[in-house]
Chain A
Amino acid sequence: DAKTTQPNSMESNEEEPVHLPCNHSTISGTDYIHWYRQLPSQGPEYVIHGLTSNVNNRMASLAIAEDRKSSTLILHRATLRDAAVYYCILRDGPGANSKLTFGKGITLSVRP
């Protein structure tokens, strides 16, 4: 699986936007970009995913660079509940494969 690189940690203030970066320079044309987050003492939770175009849902937005070598997860107004480990994951396109390869993720802290 292609590799992603994320900063180890990031801090934000409550009610401010947060931009979480992810580099994936070896991404292939059929790799989907997925984001999951894990709150303390819980299983991972799906956040958003996309292939080429930017995506929005009720939780977040995903901005994908034109060359697809990087992407940014945007939380529009951080809340204390958004403090979690965020994982950026690439998933192969062709074939039936639901495997997720998790890296270390980025730990987001939210200050009140």
Chain B
Amino acid sequence: KAGVTQTPRYLIKTRGQQVTLSCSPISGHRSVSWYQQTPGQGLQFLFEYFSETQRNKGNFPGRFSGRQFSNSRSEMNVSTLELGDSALYLCASSLSTGANEKLFFGSGTQLSVL
């Protein structure tokens, strides 16, 4: 069974640009969540989608958005990039939502903003 796939693996952008990251969950998983990891702040929750609906959102500005498609694949978008958006963006999937669910993470997209 294939794991969580994130594309691209690496990305370099300049300030002011926008970026779209993609996540394909494990087959059969309906919940997808996104996390940002930086050396200073560690791992921080961005948002969670289940059945194409955003179920939960972290404390990030509106420049960060996402969506989920009917096949459970998800994208996140960051507009008007800032230097501080340089980070590893991780996607995780689970069968459903809830505190008893295991999350399976992808290897992430490393975004560098110059």
Contacts and interface: CB of A to CB of B under 8 A. Distances in A.
Contacts of A103: 42
Given A43-B90, A44-B43, A97 B56 contact: yes
A98 B105 contact: no
B43 to A, nearest CB: 4
Nearest to A51: B100
A112 B97 CA distance: 40
Given A43-B90, A93-B99, A99 B56 contact: yes
User: At the interface, is chain B mostly helix, strand, loop or mixed?
Assistant: strand
A68 B37 CA distance: 29
Interface in A90-112: 91-93, 95-104
A71 to B, nearest CB: 15
Contacts of B107: 41-43
Which of A43, A91, A99 has the most CB atoms of chain B within a 10 A radius of its CB? A43
Interface in A25-79: 30-32, 36, 41-46, 49, 51
A44 B33 CA distance: 13
Nearest to B4: A43
Interface residues of B, number: 29
User: At the interface, is chain A mostly helix, strand, loop or mixed?
Assistant: loop
B109 to A, nearest CB: 10
B55 interface: yes
Contact of A44 (B55, B97, B105): B105
Contacts of B72: none
Contacts of B103: 36, 44, 46, 98, 100
17 contacts: A31-B99, A32-B100, A41-B107, A42-B107, A43-B4, A43-B105, A43-B107, A43-B108, A44-B90, A44-B92, A44-B103, A46-B102, A91-B99, A96-B50, A97-B97, A97-B98, A100-B103
